Structure 1
Amino acid sequence: MAASNTLPASVQPKKGRLYAVIQTRENGKSKPVWRSLGLPEGSNKSKVNKAFREVVKQFEEEYAEQLARGNRQPSDIPIFEYMCGYLKKIQQNLQKNTVESYHSMIYGKIRRYFSARSHLTVGNITVKNVEDFYETLYADGVVSNTVIHYHAILHRAFKQAFKDGMIDVNPFDRIDRPKKNKFHGANYSKEELVTLLELTRTDVIYPAILLAGGMGLRRSEALGIRWSRIDWEKKTVLLDTKIVEYKENGKVIVRPEEEMKNKSSRRTLPLPDPVYEMLTEEKEKQDMYRRMFKGSYNRKYDDFVCVNELGELIRPSYVTQHFSDLLKKYGLRHIRFHDLRHTFASLLISQNVPLINVSNFLGHSDLATTSNIYAHLDKASKQASADIMTDILSMGKE
């Protein structure tokens, strides 16, 4: 199949998938560029034709833009410039807070490092160049978990460059992923948690504190609890909404999002009696505030549990800062708000609750995640294993 476009192109199969092979010119010689059609071999002809036209058209637009910039080849694009274009290309498919995170990395440390090394391009960057960048991050005090984020976005970006035929080899395929930091979250004892809950009972973020410490919810999940998701008869709640906070055009945006961290994060949980009682009291309190403030009360978020006296959503960043302020105010040991989730899990495990049950409650994507974080606390399973071996090895002595 030949294209009717400016550049000669055809459809070619490779390893069971279909590609548009577009003939470009480099240094006076023909150079084929392979672009995936996203279809398997044997696909419907009309689908293939449509995908082929779209892929070739997109490439020609990019190719024309590159020629307009001085006949520069795609592989000659400097790293920072390419990463900016990559983000622009993928951002419509990302969550807003993820876009903000990527933007911060690209326009922050990636820009500072690679703009000073403009000779490094998509086509000539080496494994050593990348490792030097990582070493610079470590020298700046960046922890391994953060370096992993830089590695992930760069790896994905160069994977796209490889798919687009800009490079023949992805250098990031030959780089080991940085190792994660070993991290054990701090946690309160049962007595410390009870004291915290008693002292903060009248505070605006008390519902979030109780939901995190009493049910192990993430900050975004606690703030996303909705009245319509509560089954008052069964005493359960469906978690399917989170509150996200990000910047857009210099303005802080806070909004609900019905897209959880992973599939297992969307879950229905039973409500402990103290949480059920708190929700009952909070509902009555909100009704009172609506009557009290009338037209000044924001009715947009009537379905949300965690709102302030005027019905406005509580910002995640406010919860983090205010929680720290509360601990200082009452002279309590400092922990992060997220450590309330660790406290919940640690208390369950200390009561011999199996890790699989804790994992399901926390909404982890798999048991391995829970095990990696809390295995050092799982004394029950270790003792059970020891008891079994005691029984087995004692049989011969009877």
Structure 2
Amino acid sequence: MAIKTNFISNGKKYYRINYDIDIDANGKRIRKQFVGKSRKEAEKKKLDYINKMNLGLKNAKNMWLAQTLKSWLFEFVKMSGNIKPTTFARYEGLYRNYIEKSSIGSMSLDKLESIQIQRYYNKLFKQGKSSNQINYVNKFLKQFLNYAVDCGYILKNPCDGKRVVIPKKELNEIVEKAVPVFTDEELSKILNSDNCKIKYIALFSLSTGMRRGEIIGLKENDIDYKTKEIHIKRTVATTTIFDNENKKSKQTIVQEPKTKNSKRTIPLPASLVGLIKDTIKIKKSEKLKAGDSYCKNNLDYLFLSEIGNLINAGNLDKTWSKFLNRLDIPHKKFHALRHTYATKQFENNIPLKTVSMLLGHSSIEITANIYTHVLKREKEKSIDILSYIKTMV
């Protein structure tokens, strides 16, 4: 039986239904058209539209994902006052690298479906992006789409629940990756090297497990010699900052620690007391040498640049690379000192929970996941109880 149609466009037959949605200021009817290959299809489109209107959903037909997400990011997230500059810079990078010119970025919100997002994630995975990186993209996109649901642009978040999965390698393809740590020989070279600022910063990380930004964010009064404690209250970061016109520039800033648990109090190792005094001597010497050009605004910070500015993370990385090269040590990121600290703690039977608290991780699971190989190695050292008992009989 032939399908009934009532409308021809570009030589093709369709069925068209008109629906009155409002009346304008002149009393004329405002109509919306629904076109399908059959009357049934056109009626379904009309019914879907009415249901959305009844649910309070807005017309998202011309709201493109990339365009709307950018507006949300710069006009809502940025202006909320609840986001760290480093986090916003990371979000902007995710938008620019993964959404702005992506295959899903040009789609309207009302057409965006889970399967399309899934295909995009699968494509990223095939291109060599890691599961972790795709997961960051998904969390970011999911956050925006929750906002879109709240605003009535879409009925459901296509990233919710089990609607999409993060592509992962098969179990037999997964290679356990050990975190980079310094050998005892390399540590000895660092410890016995000529005294300088970068050495002291490195030994601070090695002795406490503190992050780079936490160390250069330390103030002298954060160190309590009576209680033998270090109070970690802030972090210094070099990041991209967007001004009121959204022009970006690199700046070194002070902000809250990385997570809630990162704001913590840790023991002051006795071996650091003399090092701290030597660090203060270096600061005083640099201040005297720089004279009036020395910045007076940061004098309470323990580690500063030669002219009294907060230490730029990029400059510190360059100094660190030169320091390792001078000692003939293969390059490892500064963060490897923190990994070395944690590994040494586990090797000396310090409980997982204690190490997690010292490192300032947001959860004990994060610590366990990072140091899986170390914990496994330490477990293998456990004694064979039955064999032990037999030797006592």
> Shorter-normalised TM-score: what interval?
0.7 to 0.9
CA contact (8 A) 1:190 1:347 kept: no
Alignment pair present for 1:104 and 2:102? no
Q: CA deviation at 1:130?
A: 0.9
Q: Residues 117-137 of structure 1: CA distance to partner in whole angstroms, max 9, x if unpaired? A: 63x221111222112222332
**Distance in 1, Cα, partners of 2:290 & 2:317:** 27
Q: How many residues align?
A: 331
Any conservation in 1 of the 2:191–2:203 contact (CA below 8 Å)?
yes
User: Which deviations, in whole Å up to 9, do the C-alpha atoms of 1:99-153 show, x marking residues without a partner?
Assistant: 11111221233112147x63x2211112221122223323443222211111110
Closer, same or farther: CA 29–158 of 1 in aligned 2, 3 Å: closer
What amino acid is aligned across from residue 343 of structure 1 in structure 2? T
In the alignment, which residue of structure 2 is the partner of 1:193? 187
TM-score when normalising by structure 1:
0.75
Query: Kindly, what percent of the aligned residue pairs are identical?
Result: 24
Q: Which residue of 1 aligns with 2:200?
A: 207
Change (3 A) 1:207 1:168: same
Q: Kindly state the Cα deviation for residue 362 of structure 1 after the two structures are TM-superposed.
A: 1.0
Q: What residue number does 2:64 align with?
A: 78
Q: 2:73 aligns with which of 87, 110, 129?
A: 87
User: Are residue 172 (structure 1) and residue 159 (structure 2) matched?
Assistant: yes
Partner residue in 2 for 1:270? 267
Say yes or no: does 1:355 pair with 2:355: no
Q: Which amino acid aligns with 1:310?
A: I
Return closer, same or farther for 1:176/1:30 CA change in 2, 3 Å cut-off. closer
Corresponding letter in the other structure for 1:80: A
Report the Cα offset of residue 380 of structure 1: 4.4
Contact 2:125 2:167 in 1 (8 A): no
Question: For 1:230, which of 208, 223, 227 is the aligned residue?
Answer: 223
Going from structure 1 to structure 2, the CA distance change for 1:277 and 1:373 (only over 3 Å counts) comes to same
Which blocks of at least 5 consecutive residues in structure 2 are unaligned?
Answer: 1-47, 242-246
Report the Cα offset of residue 244 of structure 1. Answer: 1.8
Q: Assess if the C-alpha contact under 8 Å between 2:304 and 2:310 holds in 1.
A: yes
The match for 1:330 is 327
Alpha carbons of structure 1 residues 284 and 325: separation in structure 2 relative to 1, 3 Å: closer
Give 1 or 2: higher helix fraction: 1
Pairing 1:31–2:53 present: yes
Which residue does 1:122 correspond to in 2?
A: 109
Closer/same/farther in 2, CA of residues 328 and 85 from structure 1, 3 Å limit: same
What is the letter of the counterpart of residue 148 of structure 1? N
Please state how far the C-alpha of 1:199 moved relative to its aligned partner.
2.6
RMSD: 2.8
8 A Cα contact 1:364 1:370, kept in partner: yes
Alpha-carbon distance, 1:34 to partner:
5.2
1:30 CA displacement: 8.0
Cα offset for 1:238?
0.1
Supply the distance in 1 between the matched residues of 2:128 and 2:326 (Cα, whole angstroms). Answer: 31
Are 1:207 and 1:306, in contact at CA under 8 Å, matched by a contact in 2?
no
Q: Whose radius of gyration is greater, 1 or 2?
A: 2
2:248 — aligned with what? 250
Q: Does the Cα contact within 8 Å between 2:324 and 2:331 map onto a contact in 1?
A: yes
Distance 1:141 1:279, change over 3 A: same
Label 1:178 to 1:242 Cα distance change in 2 as closer, same or farther (>3 A): farther
Asked if 1 retains the 8 angstrom alpha-carbon contact of 2:122 and 2:167, the reply is: no
Give the TM-score normalised by the residue count of structure 2: 0.76
Query: Residue 295 of structure 1 aligns with which residue?
Result: 292
